[in-house]
């Protein structure tokens, strides 16, 4: 079972990916984890990636694809895997398809966790963080015991710059520009599945299970 997860930042894609991975006993693979592991282990690919990351540059598609394909060859991926945060671009998607084709495999599903932008903005504007100890809260879902005060250290909690509506909207715009072509790409292949990410985590997960069954 080879699955690609798509979904806007804040749509809950990562959480769903983790649950699918647990349920089916397949690895949840995120590019961030692959980068960290390769850099930590000082692999050749990791060292190459580090040069770009240290300069605050995007790691080029070719190198990202090499890192991901290398990871997919590991033994734990035999039964399948779930890719989270990759591919991000059409060239990455095409390179992944080509690499899989070369070993007689293909992606089975691209699952898009669909949540309207205004809903994501609303959800994220409820986030609060403690800048002192790093604890995170949500006004509705994870409230503090005392309003406005961190449970852990007693500092004041704040709405981070990253979670402010204008920042979130900008990030969503970038996301849609980048991802809409991918959605079209997998739709043409007939493997795109959409689920409603506005439901509870559990209900969205149930919808995903129905697709995978
Ligand atoms: Zn705190």
**57-66, 105-114, 140-149: the lowest-pLDDT one:** 57-66
Is pLDDT above 90 for 56? no
CA of 139 relative to ligand 1 center, distance in Å: 15
Is pLDDT above 90 for 11? no
CA–centroid distance for 125 within its chain: 20
Could you tell me which CATH class the domain 2-116+172-212 is placed in?
A: alpha beta
Q: Is 58 annotated as a binding residue?
A: yes
At residue 62 the predicted structure's pLDDT band, cuts being 50, 70 and 90, is: confident
Q: Rounded to whole angstroms, how far apart are CA atoms 96 and 164?
A: 35
Residue range 156-161: mean pLDDT, rounded: 95
Residue range 196-211: mean pLDDT, rounded: 93
CA of 185 relative to ligand 1 center, distance in Å: 44
Mean pLDDT across the chain = 92
Q: Rounded to whole angstroms, how far apart are CA atoms 92 and 60?
A: 10
Q: Rounded to whole angstroms, how far apart are CA atoms 117 and 10?
A: 9
Residue range 165-170: mean pLDDT, rounded: 92
Dihedrals phi, psi of 59, to nearest 5 degrees:
-70, 130
Q: Is 77 annotated as a binding residue?
A: no
CA of 149 relative to ligand 1 center, distance in Å: 8
**Residue corresponding to tokens 């204008």:** 166
pLDDT in tens, 95-143: 999 989 988 889 999 999 999 999 999 988 999 999 999 999 999 889 9
Q: Kindly list the catalytic residues.
A: 13, 88, 127, 160, 171
Q: Rounded to whole angstroms, how far apart are CA atoms 205 and 119?
A: 19
């Amino acid at each position: 079972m080879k699955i690609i997860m798509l979904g806007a930042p804040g749509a809950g894609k990562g959480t769903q990916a983790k649950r699918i991975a647990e349920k089916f006993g397949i690895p949840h693979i995120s590019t961030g984890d692959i980068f960290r592991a390769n850099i930590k282990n000082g692999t050749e690919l990791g060292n190459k990636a580090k040069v770009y990351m240290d300069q605050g540059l995007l790691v080029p598609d070719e190198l990202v694809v090499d890192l991901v394909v290398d990871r997919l060859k590991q033994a734990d991926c035999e039964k399948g895997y779930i890719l989270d945060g990759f591919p991000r671009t059409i060239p990455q998607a095409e390179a992944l398809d080509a690499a899989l084709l070369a070993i007689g495999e293909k992606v089975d599903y691209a699952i898009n966790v669909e949540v309207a932008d205004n809903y994501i903005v609303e959800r994220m504007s409820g986030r609060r963080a403690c800048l002192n100890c790093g604890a995170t809260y949500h006004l509705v879902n994870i409230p503090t015991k005392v309003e406005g005060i961190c449970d852990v250290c007693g500092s004041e909690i704040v709405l981070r710059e990253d979670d402010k509506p204008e920042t979130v909207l900008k990030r969503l715009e970038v996301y849609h520009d980048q991802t809409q072509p991918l959605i079209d790409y997998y739709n043409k292949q007939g493997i795109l599945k959409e689920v409603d990410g506005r439901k509870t985590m559990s209900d969205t997960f149930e919808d995903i299970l129905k697709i995978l069954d």
